[in-house]
Structure 1
Amino acid sequence: MRKSRPILWILIIAAVASAGYYGWRKFGEAGKAQSAQNSGPRVPAVPVSVATVDKTDFPVFLTGLGTVQGFNTVQVRTRVDGQIDKIAFTEGQMVKQGDLLVEIDPRPFQAALDQAKAKKAQDEANLANANLDLQRYTKLGEFATRQQTDTQRSTVAQLTAQIAADEAAIANAQTQLDYTQVKSPITGVAGLRQVDIGNIVNASTQTGIVTIAQVEPITVIFTAPEDQLPYISEGQKAGALKVLALTTDGKKTLAEGKLAVINNQVDTTSGTIRLKAVFDNKEHTLWPGQSVSTRLLVRTLKDATVVPDDAVQHSTNGLYAYTVNQDNKAEVHKIKVSYSIDGRSVVDQGLSPGQQVITGGQFKVQPGSVVSTAVASSDPGQNKVQQE
């Protein structure tokens, strides 16, 4: 009986140890399960770029295509017939009004002028003699018949009129002689020469000598949609509207000018109105015949809500944009856009100044998605991005 007690205690101790081990094991497995549950797979944040919704003045431009034209363009022709003796200009030269361009053989015209002057001298001598005869008849009184006196007065009057005709002939001959020196009628750039020394030119033909285009100032002819005509006319009442001329790709501004003329009728076939802008063109960045892109500043919207174009998304239900709230979660907003120019859009409804809009990475974003943001400049000309 005494020997069985130690065995009983051994069995009790073993049972307690087994129960403790089993409990410890179960507790460890439960802890691991809970830890595994807590550290289960997490949805990573979506990387996006964001920009701030701005409240600023927004210039409204009408874009179009235009053609540069000389402010004045003249095809210089001869006004007399003859052989070219001298060419006094260089192709591409800037010539001033009154500069000599071409000289035509003046000898036939000089001879005609000398002949007209000689004829006048002859008639003046005859008039002087007729005046002397009239004085004699007048002094004779009753010894000279009235008919003789009247006839002599008529002769004097005829010779006086003849001298007046001679003076007109001299003036015409002088004008023809002056025409042998062909001068520039305007200040501008001379084009390619169409004649050479020794060529015979004729006033009755359409062949010109050279074309001169005035480039300071210079004009651009362009078009605008007819539905914008009321805004253009309204803007003109406040002053000349600003016009920008750019390269055809729109990347470089060439000159800044003013709207000068709105055409007097709309082109019904295209639904556009022709406009003319004038540019000082001191640097000669515009050239006749050049094609340019144009931007006409119609008006400026005050305190407009502006976002980058990249923030505006399209769907079958219309336009929308994602914003990021304080919890870094994406929210979707339906928006209305009125203008989109130079990488910026005017939002009339759906967004407020100061909000953060997503401008990049939207294809991975869903409403409520957690996002990690990188701040992009709202200026489309700036490409730098700063990671938050």
Structure 2
Amino acid sequence: MNKSMIAVALGAAGLAAAGGYFYLQQQPDSSASHVAGAAAPAAAGASAANKGGGAARPPGGGGPISVTTVKAQQRDQRITLEATGTVSSLNVVDIKPQVSSKVEQVHVKEGQFVRRGELLFTLDNRADAVNVTKMRAQLARDQAALNDAQRQLARSRDLLEQKFVSQSAVDAAQTQVETQQAVVAASKAAVDAAVLGLGYHRITAPSAGRVGAVNVFPGSLVQPSGPALLTITQLDPIAVSFNLPQRNLDETLQGLREGGLPVSAQLPDRSDGTPGPRLDGKLQFVDSVVDQSSGSVRVKAVFDNPQQHLWPGGYVKVALAVRTLRDAIVIPQAAIVTGVKGRTVFVVDADDKVQPRPVEIVHPVGQDAVVSGLQAGDRIVVDGRENVRAGSKVVERGGQGGAGKPGRAGTPASGAAGVTP
């Protein structure tokens, strides 16, 4: 019984394997016939098209291509060189005493703005005041001796006329007077020196500016060789130093000889994200040596700074206008197509058809460029230029044909945010 069941099972398994093999052998033929059946309508359609005599329609033949255009502008274009500048003061003075003494009084506060000649410190002047008194007393004594010598000389001359004394006696009296005159002159100089030393105990501001940190207090002993009492920094006007490439040295020097070149300084954005202020100044100085390690030259511009926007040690973006191109043609750089044959732009004619026109970049200006090969008022394709060819019919996005409102150079035409081609 068991042997019979095993034989039946083996037979069933063999029949199943044979059926599966037969099915796999028949499957490719059925797929091929299915593909052939699907290809037949396509072939029929192509045959019908050929019989109709019509060729395949080129892309875009169904209507005008949506583009954005701008008009080429003619204007005086200022050529600027941009760099990162460092703000520096035109005048920084370290205040130090000229005599060793004790601080009696501090007359200024940290951060205070002072004028030239304003009193900063008063030092203990008792020793020098006594010395001045002593020198003046010495002068009075010498002056009295001079007066006596002059009287003796007058008597000697009277006696000489009466033949009571010889000429040598008169000469000796004259010598005594001249000697005493020299002594008096020396005493006067000593008094002046003592008064000058007494003045060193009043320390005044040598220039106008802002007071920095005050490093001494009343009672502090100060010396000429010691640290500075404070520092006065001039903030208005103020300077900005930056580097320029050596290739721009000639035109920079030419502008400096003609009275200076305009320079603008843009401060970083504020903490709330708003743009920082922009200040205008003038180039004042070009260094005499080119830095061999960088191939650049150091220059300095001066700015009026009444609001103290510029602070010594800060960084600003500087733009130096080296020259101005008169009646230049300006278009957006995005409109220029660079290929193996050079640079071209697509110009839209009065019939709203585009034609390629070769151009040359005279000078890039940010997102715009000064070019040659165009006329003022030419409509230039900016967006959608990758979809057009010579003779393509175009329509302004958001407009009807050529009636769109082209934007200024560097700005897409009005309504450019509408249709996608």
TM-score, length-normalised on structure 2? Answer: 0.73
CA distance in 2 between partners of 1:178 and 1:278 (Å): 35
Q: Does 1:196 align with 2:217?
A: yes
Cα displacement string for residues 203-241 of structure 1 (whole angstroms, at most 9, x for unaligned residues):
234x21222222222222222222222223333454432
Given that 1:244 and 1:253 are in contact with CA atoms closer than 8 Å, whether structure 2 keeps it comes out as: no
C-alpha spacing 1:199/1:354, structure 2 compared with 1 (3 Å): same
Cα displacement string for residues 227-276 of structure 1 (whole angstroms, at most 9, x for unaligned residues):
22222333345443211111257x65521122222333333332222222
**One-letter amino acid of the counterpart of residue 343, structure 1:** Q
Equivalent in 275, 281, 285 of residue 257 of structure 1? 281
In structure 2, the partner of 1:168 is 189
Shift of 1:149: 3.8
Shift of 1:283: 2.9
C-alpha spacing 1:248/1:309, structure 2 compared with 1 (3 Å): farther
Equivalent in 288, 307, 310 of residue 283 of structure 1? 307
C-alpha spacing 1:101/1:306, structure 2 compared with 1 (3 Å): same
In structure 2, the partner of 1:10 is none
Shift of 1:97: 0.7
% same residue: 30
**One-letter amino acid of the counterpart of residue 158, structure 1:** T
In structure 2, the partner of 1:357 is 380
SS at match of 1:192: coil
C-alpha spacing 1:216/1:381, structure 2 compared with 1 (3 Å): farther
Given that 2:103 and 2:123 are in contact with CA atoms closer than 8 Å, whether structure 1 keeps it comes out as: yes
In structure 2, the partner of 1:312 is 336
CA distance in 1 between partners of 2:268 and 2:337 (Å): 28
Cα displacement string for residues 89-135 of structure 1 (whole angstroms, at most 9, x for unaligned residues):
12222211111111111111111111111110111122222333333
CA distance in 2 between partners of 1:304 and 1:70 (Å): 38
CA distance in 2 between partners of 1:333 and 1:152 (Å): 108
Compute the RMSD of aligned alpha carbons.
3.3
Q: Does 1:233 align with 2:233?
A: no
Shift of 1:331: 4.3
Equivalent in 46, 55, 65 of residue 74 of structure 2? 55
CA distance in 2 between partners of 1:298 and 1:41 (Å): 48
SS at match of 1:288: coil
In structure 1, the partner of 2:16 is none
Shift of 1:367: 5.6
335-344 or 45-54: which moved more?
45-54
In structure 2, the partner of 1:99 is 118
In structure 1, the partner of 2:8 is none
SS at match of 1:335: strand
CA distance in 2 between partners of 1:184 and 1:382 (Å): 58
176-185 or 377-386: which moved more?
377-386
Shift of 1:337: 0.9
Given that 2:286 and 2:300 are in contact with CA atoms closer than 8 Å, whether structure 1 keeps it comes out as: yes
Q: Which has the higher strand share?
A: 1
C-alpha spacing 1:45/1:84, structure 2 compared with 1 (3 Å): farther
Structure 2: tracts of 5 or more residues without a match: 1-47, 270-274, 398-404
Structure 1: tracts of 5 or more residues without a match: 1-29
Equivalent in 194, 202, 208 of residue 187 of structure 1? 208
Given that 2:332 and 2:411 are in contact with CA atoms closer than 8 Å, whether structure 1 keeps it comes out as: no
**One-letter amino acid of the counterpart of residue 217, structure 1:** P
In structure 2, the partner of 1:71 is 90
Given that 1:96 and 1:184 are in contact with CA atoms closer than 8 Å, whether structure 2 keeps it comes out as: yes
